[in-house]
A = this chain, B = another copy of it.
C-alpha cells in the first residue's frame, strides 16, 4: 500500500499545473467576456489554448491505449482534478471534455474501422464536438429499460424516432455527431433491447429544439443541454455501433471512466471553493473581526477539508480497482463515488457561497455556477437514490 503518485503522474501533474497557471487561469476573464457574446458557440480563445495544450503534450490525456495518451485511470485521475479547477476551460483546452471523452472511448473500443476514421479521428484532433443522446423526458431514464426511442431497421438503413433532452453540448453548432441510444429489439431480454447508433447533426429529421436550463444557467459556453427530436431520421445501417442489442453493454463500459473524470473534476472544484472560502473569510470583516475567526466558518472549512480528503482517496482507489480488476470488480466503488461526490461537493460549495454573502450567488464569483453543476450531477446518469438501492442490494447479497 502506497499513497504516492508514480513518476509519470507527477511529471504530468507538474506540466498541467504549469499550463493552468500560465494559460488557463489568465484566460478566465476573457473567456467569460467572449462567452457572453458567443451565443451557443464556444469562446474563440479556446482554439489557441488547444494548440498550446497540444504543443505541450497535454492532449487526449484521458484516453488509454494507442489512440490516446495511454495513461491508466489512476494516472489520469489526478490530472482530471487539476482540470476541474477551471472546468469551463481546461477540459476543452486539453481535449478531455465530456461528452467527447466517453464518445471517443466508445468509438475507440466498439467502433468499426470506417466509424473510427470518419468520426473518431476528427474528435481526437479536436476539430469537431459530439453528443451522447440517452436521457428522455417522458420516462425515468435511470431505468434503461424505460428508453422509448425506437431504432428500426428498414433495408440498408435504420429509422430513428424519439425525443431526448439534456443532451449536453448539442446546442453548439460544431457538435457534428450524435451517439443515440434507442431500442432496436424491443422483444429481446431487457438488457439486449438497446443499440447505439451514429447520427450526423445534419441528418434530416434531427431537430435540436431548445436548450434546457440548469438552475437558470444555459451552459452555452459548452454547448448547453439540448432537447433533441428525432422524426423519421434515417442513417445507413453501418452507422450502428457494435451489434444490435449491444447498447446496454456499451453504455456500461462507457460509464466507469466517465465517473472517475466527473468525480475528480468535482474534487478540483471543491478545492477551488475551499480556496475562495478561505481567502474571503480572511479578507472580510464583520462585527469587528475577520469572519475567518468565527467558529462556524472554521467548522465549515475543517469539514470541507476532511470530506475532500476522504472523497479523493475513494475515487483514486476506484480508479486503481478499474485498472487492476476491471469495471465489474469496481462496481460498488464506482457507485459509491457517483453517490458521494456530487452531494459532498455541493455541500462545500454551499458553504463557500454562504461565506461570500450575496456575492456568492451572483455572476461575480464562480461558486453558484459550480454549485448548479454539482447539484445536477446528483441526477445525471440516474438519481443517487437508484444507485444507493443497487449498492445496498449488493451489500445485502453477501448475507443471503
Residues of A within 8 A of B (CB): 1-6, 9, 74, 135, 137, 139-143, 146, 165-166, 212-218, 274-275, 278-279, 281-282, 284-287, 291-292, 294-299, 301-303, 305-306, 309-311, 313-314, 316-317, 320-321, 332-333, 336, 339-340, 354, 357-364, 368-369, 371-372, 375-376, 378-380, 383-389, 391-393, 395-396, 398-400
Q: List the B residue with the shortest CB-CB distance to A274.
A: B395
Q: How far is the CA of A170 from the CA of B226 in the complex (A)?
A: 33
Q: A339-B306, A375-B361, A385-B299 are in contact. Are A396 and B278 (CB under 8 A)?
A: yes
Least Cβ distance of A398 to chain B in Å?
7
Return 15 A-B CB contacts under 8 Å, by A number: A140-B284, A140-B291, A142-B357, A215-B361, A215-B371, A216-B218, A294-B385, A299-B392, A303-B388, A309-B317, A354-B384, A357-B383, A358-B379, A358-B380, A361-B372
The contact of A317 among B9, B141, B313, B384, by CB within 8 Å, is B313
Q: List the B residue with the shortest CB-CB distance to A72.
A: B1
Q: List the B residue with the shortest CB-CB distance to A305.
A: B395
Q: How far is the CA of A166 from the CA of B357 in the complex (A)?
A: 11
In the complex, the answer to whether B358 meets A165 with C-beta atoms within 8 Å is yes
Least Cβ distance of A237 to chain B in Å?
31
Least Cβ distance of A239 to chain B in Å?
26
Q: How far is the CA of A336 from the CA of B311 in the complex (A)?
A: 13
In the complex, the answer to whether B291 meets A398 with C-beta atoms within 8 Å is no
The contact of A362 among B214, B275, B303, by CB within 8 Å, is B214
In the complex, the answer to whether A279 meets B310 with C-beta atoms within 8 Å is no
In the complex, the answer to whether A368 meets B1 with C-beta atoms within 8 Å is no
Across-interface contacts of A333 in B (CB, < 8 A): 309
Least Cβ distance of A69 to chain B in Å?
18
In the complex, the answer to whether B281 meets A396 with C-beta atoms within 8 Å is yes
Q: A371-B215, A399-B279 are in contact. Are A392 and B302 (CB under 8 A)?
A: yes
Q: How far is the CA of A332 from the CA of B395 in the complex (A)?
A: 32
In the complex, the answer to whether B213 meets A368 with C-beta atoms within 8 Å is yes
In the complex, the answer to whether A146 meets B310 with C-beta atoms within 8 Å is no
* A-B contacts besides A214-B362, A298-B388, 7 pairs, CB < 8 Å: A140-B357, A299-B389, A305-B332, A309-B314, A309-B333, A354-B385, A358-B376
